[in-house]
């Protein structure tokens, strides 16, 4: 799931950002936010069935061989749309996260770079900017992550006892219910684990990506000059 998601996500982001800036459809300040949101929306839609399979593996402890039967049963009962169950909460968590992440990342990177050209961004700067941006985005979108987790756990428990839910509560209803039962702090349950996961993963991913991109750009330029 992670490999195709990352490939689709970063490729779509770079292409969308270049398109938005090239056509002057939005300012350079907000282009990363729009491109990040659209790239994540497309990625979530494509990867959602794999996300559902991963949840089944974790919640029901089924083997990969049994997973195929689970998927066929889900499709037989709820149609192909059942493979995108949980798409809404995932999109509500990941799309704002990506928009905030790329907006803050470009701002922090520009601040760290000062007057240096963009193509001279070091791996260390990308790492720091990615960590800071990931932390901010993770904190602000944590309530949606709580809702997504609770919904997946509930659905997994129902499937384990072979009970089909009569209806699925909306994300906003679940947010209000969590706040009524546990207060505002309930919406930010798991704060520390999410930060511990998001900050280093975002920092490692973006710094590795930036390094790989600059490496292959230099390699291609050398080949052109050499040819």
Q: Please tell me the pTM assigned to this model.
A: 0.79
CA distances from 43 to 2, 39, 49, 151, 155 (A): 11, 6, 11, 21, 23
Q: For 35-86, what is each residue's pLDDT tens digit?
A: 999 999 999 999 888 877 777 776 667 777 777 777 777 777 777 777 787 7
Instruction: Give residues with Cβ within 8 angstroms of 146, minimum separation 6.
Output: 178, 186, 187, 188, 189, 190
CA distances from 219 to 120, 126, 177 (A): 15, 20, 54
| Residues in the chain, overall count | 227
Q: What is the DSSP code (8-state) at residue 167?
A: -
Neighbouring CB atoms inside 10 A of 196's CB total 12
Q: What are phi and psi of 162, to 5 degrees?
A: 60, 45
Q: What is the DSSP code (8-state) at residue 80?
A: G
- Token pair 């169950």: residue: 85
Q: Which two tokens stand for residue 220?
A: 């291609």
Yes or no: say if 209 and 10 are a contact pair by the CB < 8 Å rule. Answer: yes
Q: For 100-150, what is each residue's pLDDT tens digit?
A: 999 999 999 888 887 565 555 688 899 999 999 999 999 998 888 888 777
Domain positions in the chain are 1-85, 104-226
């Amino acid at each position: 799931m992670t490999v195709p998601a990352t490939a689709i996500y970063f490729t779509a982001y770079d292409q969308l950002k270049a398109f938005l800036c090239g056509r002057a459809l939005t300012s350079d300040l907000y282009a990363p936010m729009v491109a990040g949101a659209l790239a994540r929306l497309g990625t979530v839609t494509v990867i959602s069935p794999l996300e559902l399979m991963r949840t089944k593996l974790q919640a029901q402890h089924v083997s990969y061989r049994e997973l195929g039967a689970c998927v066929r049963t889900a499709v037989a009962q709820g149609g192909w749309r059942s493979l995108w169950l949980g798409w809404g909460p995932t999109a509500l968590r990941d799309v704002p996260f990506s928009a905030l992440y790329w907006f803050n990342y470009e701002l922090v990177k520009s601040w760290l770079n000062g007057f240096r050209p963009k193509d001279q961004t070091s791996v260390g700067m990308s790492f720091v900017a990615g960590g800071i941006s990931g932390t901010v985005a993770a904190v602000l979108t944590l309530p949606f992550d709580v809702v997504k987790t609770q919904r997946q756990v509930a659905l997994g428990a129902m499937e384990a006892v072979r009970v089909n839910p009569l209806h699925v509560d909306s994300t906003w209803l679940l947010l209000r219910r969590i706040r009524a039962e546990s207060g505002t702090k309930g919406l930010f349950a798991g704060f520390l684990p999410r930060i511990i996961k998001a900050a280093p993963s975002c920092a490692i991913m973006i710094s590795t990506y930036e390094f790989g991109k600059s490496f292959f750009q230099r390699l291609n330029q050398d080949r052109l000059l050499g040819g």
